């Protein structure tokens, strides 16, 4: 009985490995066009928090964040980031650029104004 269990277990592992290899070699299918939606909110203390929601495209994705035209490599591939801001300045300077594994890109920027006080 123990020998049969080991044989079946080894066979099961071999089939699982084969299935994984076949799945990895299959071409990735896009779940619709790549879209990124950026929502930013002033959180007070001269800071803005932004979140990128990504749908569609072919994973995995890369995310690059820009704030007021400056690229922040430390924030690569993060869906939520926090930037400093100037009171009354538009949050629209906070932008995410997403690229999927097929090379498609999408970008979006936040909206609103920076505040010094908490919401």
> Going from the N-terminus, what domains does the chain have, and what CATH number goes with each?
35-109 (2.60.40)
pLDDT digits (tens, 9 = 90+) for 31-53: 799 999 999 999 988 999 999 99
User: How high is the pLDDT of residue 7?
Assistant: 39
pLDDT at 27: 45
Cα separation of 48 and 109, whole Å?
Answer: 12
| Sites in the chain below the pLDDT cut of 70 | 1-30, 119
Q: Which helix (H) or strand (E) holds 24?
A: helix 2-25
Token pair belonging to 56: 């569609």
Cα three-residue angle 13-17-23, rounded to 5 degrees: 145
Q: Are 35 and 99 in contact (CB under 8 A)?
A: no
pLDDT of 87 reads 86
């Amino acid at each position: 009985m123990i020998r049969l269990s080991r044989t079946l277990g080894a066979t099961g592992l071999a089939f699982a490995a084969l299935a994984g290899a076949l799945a990895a070699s299959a071409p990735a299918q896009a779940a619709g066009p790549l879209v990124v939606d950026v929502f930013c909110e002033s959180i007070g203390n001269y800071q803005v928090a932004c979140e990128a929601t990504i749908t569609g495209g072919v994973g995995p994705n890369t995310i690059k964040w820009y704030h007021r035209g400056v690229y922040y490599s430390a924030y690569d591939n993060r869906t939520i980031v926090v930037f400093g801001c100037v009171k009354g300045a538009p949050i629209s300077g906070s932008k995410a650029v997403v690229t999927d594994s097929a090379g498609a890109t999408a970008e979006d920027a936040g909206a609103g104004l920076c505040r010094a006080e908490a919401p």
